[in-house]
Structure 1
Amino acid sequence: MPKAYSYLRFSTPEQMKGDSFRRQTTLAHEYAARNHLDLDDKLTFHDLGVSGFRGKNSETGRLAEFLEAVRTEFVPRGSYLLVESLDRISRQAARKAMKVLESICDEGITVVTLNDGRAYTEDILNNDPMALIMSLLVFIRANEESANKSIRLKAMWTGKRAKATQKPLTSNGPAWLRLNKDTGQWHVLAECADVVRRIFQEYLSGRGQGAITTSLNQERVPLFFRDTRKGKRVGAHWHRSYVRRLLENPAVIGAYIPQSTEYKDKKKLRKTAGQPVPGYFPAIIDEDTFQRAQALRMDTPSPLRGKNAHGETRNIFGGLAKCSRCGATMVYVSKGNYKGKPYTYLVCQKARVGAGCPYTLVPYSPVEEAFLRDAPVLLDSAPTNAEDSALLTEIERMDAALLGSSDHLEALADAYARTRLDALLKEMQAITTERDELQKRRDELSRKAGAVACPMATKRLLELDEALKAESLDRRKVNTLMRMVFERFTVDPDNCGAYLNWKTGGASQWVFFGFPKDKAETGVTNTEENPKAAKAA
């Protein structure tokens, strides 16, 4: 008696709750009984919740396992594969779907479609033109239905996102919130929200993301990130990526970022699908705190990271100092003490490892003293938001381009629906790719604009001014505020000067911390070696 195997597939796990599973199982048993087949219920191939539209079931699902079982003779040639209809095998483009059917039949398997009782074998596909045509027509219809369904779903979600301010789109939300489905209101989980606030507070105090992660794990702070589909925690421990995601997530100030699902090279991608919706979630962080964190994150890593994560801040230029010769980071080094005097320097990291930049020791104390001396004048000359209008102009230009892309795509979609020309489809795909890149760039500029907005920037300047004028200099606080205000601090060893680049754009006047020495005479610019170390050398 020939063997028969049942193959089930639905597009989503939710269909498990419907009639699809029962119907397909019943049809398989009835067909096997009528045709005297031995239905193997121990090796039933179920692709539950795997979509045939993207070809996942034939490439990574149980259908791939079935083909492998046939090729290794675990499933004998001459067996039957029972499916409800051909579209259960694949809903890809007809050409690709046909290859899937052929690959099964070429292994000596008879494919039976239970809805009409048709059988497909290698011999039938080779010699019965009508069977070949019918299978192609079924695949064409299935692919068009899936494509149309995808378009309708996108349109539905577009409409939902347009009404996002009226009611929640979905029960999925940030890990520190839960939706009351009866009232439609979001409720804050106090313990989780306190952890988020703590992360922002520690980050703004100057601690790096790695140090924050370590302290959360050492204190056994519960991880509250969850897989929204499975409702389970994503891990047992905190990771640096979790801290980073919290610090950059606008949901903490109540903003919702609409997203859509796209497929590229058979990979599922989440992409921004519109402008942020403010006030969608309850805010657990005030906007000033959030924007200060974004300013701190922009191109200025914390000096308190790695082996220095729990150390004392000695260098107020940590994460900012750059070499004028090569652009590499200038690091803080200590050459020890001699007669009670510490010998500390700024040195180009590239020069330290012999990577081509001349090795020059720049005494740290004169640089810090010169900056503190000139800081009041520097802060008074900080650029205003008006001087950063180019950023806003660029955002407006991108908004116009995005609107034009959407209109163009809509016109192409209408034309494709009428003509089904492949050229139109390719043009739509190209424009969609360009639009996604444009949206990504626009989002980056928008975040930067928020971080350097005039009221926020002015407040940070005042805070830095107060910290610099304090009776006792808190170097960690000063460094944190400087990384919010400045993009970099470029040190020029040859001219014994430095200048600052503002995050709002532009550069400061020069700060001079010494007088250049004659390099031909000394061979080294502006160095002040520890006499003890020099003698030992």
Structure 2
Amino acid sequence: MVAQVYSYRRFSSPQQKFGGSIERQNDYANLIAEEYGLTLNEKLVMTDEGLSAFHAEHVSRGALGIFIKAVEEGLVERGSILIVESLDRLSRDQPMDAMHQFNELIGKGITIITANDSQVYNTASIAKDPSKLFISIAIMIRAHDESLTKQKRSVAFVKQQVRKFELEGKGDVAGTTPFWLSRTKKGFILNEHADIARDIVTSYLSNKGLNTISRELYEKGVPSPQKGKPRWGITTIRNVLDNKALYGVKHFKLRYLVDGQQVVEEYNLSDYYPALITEDDYKVIQTKKKKKATSREAYGDVTYLLSGYGKGRSVCSKCGQAVGSQLQKQRNRKGEYTQSVMRLHCMKHKESADCCKSFKSARLEEAFVDSVSHKIDGRFLTSFADNAHQESVLKAKIEDVEETISNLVETLMVVREPDTKAQLQKSIVSAEEEKRELQNQLTAIATSVISEEEALKINELKKAALDIRNNDERKLLKQIMIEVIDKIVINFEKQSLVVHFRNQDTVSVVHIPVIDIYVFVDEQVKAGRQR
């Protein structure tokens, strides 16, 4: 590989994009390549649009970061030239950090040439004229100070708008607007896309997974808010569900430097937007998302009910490692397809062959579904029924209070000032009382009896889900079980399992090989049943 000329352009605002700097720099890069007898590398013409050099985003997220990594890994040859408009395009970070980056590039044999003043920076030029080093530091200090001044103005404006909103209920903090809202002269209003966001929320609260929601939106012909993308991405749907604007809150973090240290201030402005849902619904959504973290709704057109619950939630009893399912197609001697067989694998054994062999798991899955179905509240199928929804809200609130208590206790352990300690202890007692009250309300709802209609719906879902071809029903059952099951421990040698529920109940599904049947025991009610 030979030395080449590389061109780097960065602009942090659209106005800079339409100036003449890019064309000027392109012409200059070609001129430098000709002068030094090198080839202009047109495959890595680096442009960072909308990335700030003051926050070093162009290094952490942009093309310059890729170039620096390529230099570090030796993919860019020593003696190569990097063209930049000026040194302040290279970095507006804190001078010490900017200088470190500058020295690192030069130390790797890279020559930096600035297009605005034709200055050449490399080991030889700086050794010949050390004043170049002082000039470069001065440019970086000036660039950082200019950006710091702009930042102070921006931060002051945002804080002024926050105060105005808190005092008058008016104020535009700026920032991006969610797709279901529009900005008008009188404030924000729900627009024609509000029903899309509402449908996403309703589907999720009805125990539909993100993949299912994405597919249904595509089938309805609802385009993604991301231009040019007809299908909704999982991340896009997740971002909708995460957005506090759903219940009217403007949430943002204000980051700025004070004496070289980054300060982060978090804001939650209530009633900033018109609400699409209640705060209680939002909390339920976040609780559901935590429970489903790392779980897998389906694999293609197949939903597995004994695996895919997330990290550490469906494991081998012998090694404690993950369990995986496989639908294996079987063929006869003529190579003709005969049937599909579901098998369960210990993933450790599958990789290293030193644990438990796989086995056909269809009958165990059937016994598992039968054994846990009586633990599923039929109101899950009508998530907005009063009791079921209120139960979800209370659980979400309890989790919030528990997190608050944990944070208060952590703070109490490091605080020394007596008055602050006393206030923290008072807050902990208050939070504990709130938690007890919420738990009492939850107990009252949980002990209520479900209707015959709800029990029938669960039974119908169970029967449909036992047929692997009914993927929609299996997905729905899987989403419900993700919420109620904490862990499944599978004994491969005995082809049995133990289910641990989030409410501390335990169900064992045991295979009796002598008579080839499965029985299950509910360790809460101590009752057995044969299958």
TM-score interval, normalised by the smaller of the two chains: 0.5 to 0.7
Task: Deviation per CA, 1:207-245: give whole Å up to 9, x if none.
Answer: 3322322232233222223xxxxxxx2623222332333
How far, CA to CA, are the matches of 1:219 and 1:143 in structure 2? 50
CA distance in 1, matches of 2:112, 2:495: 81
2:89 and 2:235 mapped to 1: Cα distance?
39
Match of 2:370 among 351, 355, 368: 368
Counting only pairs closer than 5 Å after superposition, residues 31-430 of structure 1 correspond to structure 2 as 51-53=52-54, 54=56, 56=58, 60=63, 87=88, 90-92=91-93, 93=95, 95-96=99-100, 99=103, 113=117, 125-128=126-129, 130=131, 132-147=133-148, 149-150=150-151, 153=154, 157=158, 160=161, 165=166, 166=169, 167-170=171-174, 172-180=176-184, 182-183=185-186, 185-190=187-192, 192-225=193-226, 233=227, 235-260=229-254, 273-274=265-266, 276-300=268-292, 301=295, 306-308=300-302, 322=314, 325=317, 328=322, 349-350=345-346, 356=356, 359=359, 362=364, 364=366, 368=370, 372=374, 392-398=401-407
TM-score (norm 2): 0.53
Relative to 1, partners in 2 of residues 1:234 and 1:273: Cα closer, same or farther, differing over 3 Å?
farther
Q: Aligned equivalents of 1:501 and 1:160: distance in 2?
A: 48
Q: Percent identity?
A: 18
Deviation string for 1:458-506 (max 9, x for gaps)?
Answer: 798589934775445342799478447523364677798855422xxx5
Residue matched to 1:38: none
1:428-480: CA deviation from partner (whole Å, max 9, x where unpaired): xxxxxxxxxxxxxxxxxxxxx99xx7599679858993477544534279947
Distance 2:366 2:57 in 1: 62
3-state DSSP of counterpart to 2:291: coil
Residue 332 of structure 2 corresponds to none
Tell me, in whole angstroms, the C-alpha distance in 1 between the residues paired with 2:307 and 2:48: 57
Report the counterpart of residue 33 of structure 2 in structure 1.
Answer: none
Q: Which has the larger radius of gyration?
A: 1
Q: Give the one of 504, 512, 518 matched to 1:507.
A: 504
Structure 2: how far apart are the matches of 1:144 and 1:366? 66
Q: How far off its partner does 1:176 sit?
A: 1.0
The alpha-carbon deviation at position 9 of structure 1 amounts to 7.6
Q: How far does the alpha carbon of each residue in 1:80-111 deviate from its partner, in whole angstroms, 9 at most, with x for none?
A: x997x7646654536347659979x9969697
What is the deviation of 1:177? 0.8
Output the amino acid matched with 2:220: E
Q: In the aligned structure 2, how far is the partner of 1:486 from the partner of 1:204?
A: 15
Q: Alpha-carbon deviation of 1:143?
A: 3.1
Q: Distance in 2 between matches of 1:236 and 1:287?
A: 30
Structure 1, unmatched stretches of 5+, are 1-6, 26-42, 76-80, 226-232, 264-270, 335-344, 406-448, 529-537
With a CA cutoff of 8 Å and minimum separation of 6, indicate the structure with the bigger relative contact order: 1
SS of 1:238's partner is coil
- Superposed, which structure 2 residues align to 1:374-523 within 5 Å? 392-398=401-407, 461=446, 465-466=450-451, 469-472=454-457, 473-475=459-461, 479=477, 482-483=480-481, 486-488=484-486, 490=488, 500-502=500-502, 506-508=503-505, 510-511=506-507, 517=512, 522=514
Inter-partner Cα distance in structure 2 for 1:513 and 1:465? 25
Cα distance, 1:362–1:186 mapped onto 2, change above 3 Å: same
Separation in structure 1 between the aligned mates of residue 84 and residue 308 of structure 2, nearest angstrom = 67
Query: What number of residue pairs does the alignment pair up?
Result: 407
CA contact (8 A) 1:346 1:362 kept: no
Partners of 2:152 and 2:356 in 1: how far apart? 56
Cα deviation per residue 1:97-149 (whole Å; 9 max; x = unaligned)? 7659979x9969697649xxx99999875455556534433433333443565
Say if 1:217 and 1:50 are closer, same or farther in 2 by CA, change over 3 A.
closer
TM (normalized to structure 1)?
0.52
2:179·2:225 contact (CA, 8 Å) conserved in 1? yes
SS at 2:250 equivalent: coil
Question: How far apart, in 1, do the equivalents of 2:8 and 2:342 lie?
Answer: 67
Q: Which amino acid aligns with 2:346?
A: K
Q: 1:157 to 1:469 in 2, by over 3 A?
A: same
Say if 1:524 and 1:56 are closer, same or farther in 2 by CA, change over 3 A. Answer: same
Contact 1:325–1:492 under 8 Å retained in 2: yes
What SS is found at the alignment partner of 2:274?
coil
* Alpha-carbon separation, structure 2, partners of 1:193 and 1:383: 24
Structure 2 letter corresponding to 1:13:
S
* Residue 203 to residue 136, structure 1, CA distance change in 2 (3 Å): closer
RMSD value, Cα: 6.5
**Alpha-carbon displacement from aligned partner over 1:353-387 (angstroms, at most 9, x marks no partner):** 786268575473587268639989xx9xx999799
